[in-house]
A = this chain, B = another copy of it.
C-alpha cells in the first residue's frame, strides 16, 4: 500500500561531496550532497544562499567537486557543520590546484573535478551553480585498467529523511546490458 508523505524530496541517496572554492582569497571547502548531473560535461550544486562559499564561486567563476571516501566521513561531516567564515577548513587537508588556479582541491579525496561556472539559476533561498568540468583528477590507486573503479573510491551517500551516511554496496549488474533479455521477449 502507498502512503502519501506530502511533498517530500526522496531523491536520495545522493553522493556526498566537498565543494572547493576560493573565498576572500583563501581556499574553502563545503559539504554538499545536493548535486546533480546536467549532461556528460556539466554538473550542478544546490547551495543555500546563506553559505559563505557562494560569493567565492561567483567572484572567481570556478569551483571544484571532490569525492571523499568513507574513511573521511568525520572530516566531511565537520565541513558541513562549521562555516568558513569562522574556521579555516582547508587546514584539515592537503590542498592542490589545477589549470583554473582558483578551484582548490583536496588531495586526500580520490576524485577531484575542476569546474568553470557557466550559469547560476536563482532559487528563493538557493543558488544553483551549473558548472562545466574542465579537468578531472583521480588517485592512481582507484583506477582499474585506467577506468575509475568506485569499489576502490569508496564514496558515500547522504539521505535527508534519516540524516544518514551510507556506503556503496556491490556492483551487481552491467548497465545497458542486463535489460536486453526483456527486449527479446
A interface, CB within 8 angstroms of B: 1-15, 17, 33-44, 46, 48, 65, 67, 70, 73-82, 92, 96, 98, 107, 111-113, 119, 121, 123-126, 128, 130, 132-140, 143, 147-150, 155-183
Contacts and interface: CB of A to CB of B under 8 A. Distances in A.
The 5 closest A-B pairs by CB, nearest first: A36-B36, A77-B179, A78-B179, A167-B169, A34-B37
A146 B133 CA distance: 39
Given A8-B148, A168-B169, 20 more contacts: A2-B107, A10-B111, A13-B150, A14-B37, A36-B37, A38-B128, A39-B123, A42-B123, A73-B172, A73-B173, A73-B179, A74-B182, A77-B176, A81-B176, A150-B166, A164-B174, A164-B175, A165-B174, A166-B171, A169-B169
Contacts of A34: 36-39
Contacts of A143: 3
A139 B36 CA distance: 25
A138 B12 contact: no
Contact of A175 (B165, B171, B175, B179): B165
Contacts of A133: 7-9
B173 A77 contact: yes
A179 to B, nearest CB: 3
Contacts of A98: 4
Contacts of A126: 38-39
Nearest to A155: B13
A139 B2 CA distance: 4
A65 B11 contact: yes
Contacts of A177: 77, 163
Contacts of A150: 12-13, 159, 161-162, 164, 166
